[in-house]
Amino acid sequence: MKNKFLYKLRSGKNSKLIYYTVNVWRFLMPKFLFRTRLHGKLASLSRRVDREYIEKRVDYYNKLSGFVQLPSSAPRLAEHKMGGQKVYFFDTYQYTRWFPDSFQWGFCPGDVTHIPEYPSIVKSRPLAENNENSIVMKLDKVRHFMYVKDKKPFIAKKDKLIFRGKVKGKNSRRVFMEMYFHHPMCDLGDVSKNTTDPQEWQTEKKTIKEHLDYKFILAIEGNDVASNLKWIMSSNSVAVMPRPTCETWFMEGTLIPNYHYIEIKPDFSDLESRLYYYIEHIDEAQQIIKHANEYVAQFRDKSREDLISLLVLNKYFEITGKK
């Protein structure tokens, strides 16, 4: 128990205590304070020098066009209540409170890898054609959106790949462990509980700071996206992964292989050769880090991120005829 408590203090992850404190305070604020300001908030877009960039982001997350009819059974915002998945409630409520309770919508909380039957708000969507019904918003952000201040240069880090994550129920991660657990260039560990996978894989978690001692960090999808990808790309280490199959608010579908991250084959067979290449070509690895850091920077402007979120929802309600 003591080790678990110390890990939480040192992990480098977002504080859930702070997250819940802020969101409970936000929940207690009267909705009318926001609804009276919505028009002015949306209108501020026309005065921004980054208007074109913002509109591009909005259209990326919300691909709907024309008019789309929601089913009569679609719930109203008034029915949006706090349930078991509190982070999904809080992260949507932060923006739904700006709109009338009478508006209908679709909402699919959790790790979503399917395309909803009708337009719905999701955290994640498959990178596939005809995924317009998946409207992406910044959800479960306390877990997914964190960044680091990495003072250790790439060249001073270990010439190895590190992975610490849950393997239980995640076939691709199990295959990777079977292939590379004993490989001298890899430091791998499974932090799953009550698992039937090999006991030798089991290990304690490592803090984010401990991960940053390694040149390469594995970002491998679990239920949907690799949740560690955001903080890896803000560091001086390099993310190593196959091309993503899902995306979130981080727009994983726009990442360029071997420009923002080191791409490996979906069957992981070229891992060793890819690591050796970038150990021998330090300048190219450092260029990837530079590009990754630049990519992450676009998500750090909180006021702009809030505006984009409101515009995504506003577009949703306009196209579904709720405005």
Contacts of 265-273 with C-beta under 8 Å, sequence gap 24+, read 266/242, 267/175, 268/175, 268/176, 268/179, 268/180, 268/242, 271/161, 271/179, 271/180, 271/240, 272/183, 272/185
Range of weakest confidence among 142-146, 162-166, 261-265, 316-320 = 142-146
* H helix intervals, 97-204: 141-144, 171-180
Residue 11 CA to residue 103 CA, distance in Å, equals 40
Average pLDDT for 192-218: 95
Is pLDDT of 4 > 80? Answer: no
Two tokens, residue 110: 């959790």
Percent of the chain with pLDDT over 70: 96
Two tokens, residue 156: 């001073």
The whole-number pLDDT of residue 14 equals: 80
Residue with tokens 């579908």: 253
Please state, rounded to an integer, the average pLDDT across all residues of the chain: 93
> How open is the CA angle 105-68-80, to the nearest 5 degrees?
0
What CATH architecture is 154-297? Answer: 3-Layer(aba) Sandwich (3.40)
Model-wide pTM > 0.95: no
Average pLDDT for 33-58: 96
Residue 246 CA to residue 35 CA, distance in Å, equals 33
Is pLDDT of 24 > 70? Answer: yes
Please compute Rg for the chain using Cα positions. Answer: 21
Q: List residues bridging with 125 in a β-sheet.
A: 247
The whole-number pLDDT of residue 161 equals: 98
Q: Which residue type is seen at 299?
A: F
Phi-psi region of 135 (alpha: psi -120 to 50; beta: other; left: phi over 0): beta
Phi-psi region of 130 (alpha: psi -120 to 50; beta: other; left: phi over 0): left
Average pLDDT for 66-75: 94
Domain limits of the chain?
A: 2-144+301-319, 154-297
The whole-number pLDDT of residue 2 equals: 44
Q: Is 103 exposed, middle or buried (0-12, 13-18, 19+ CB in 10 A)?
A: buried
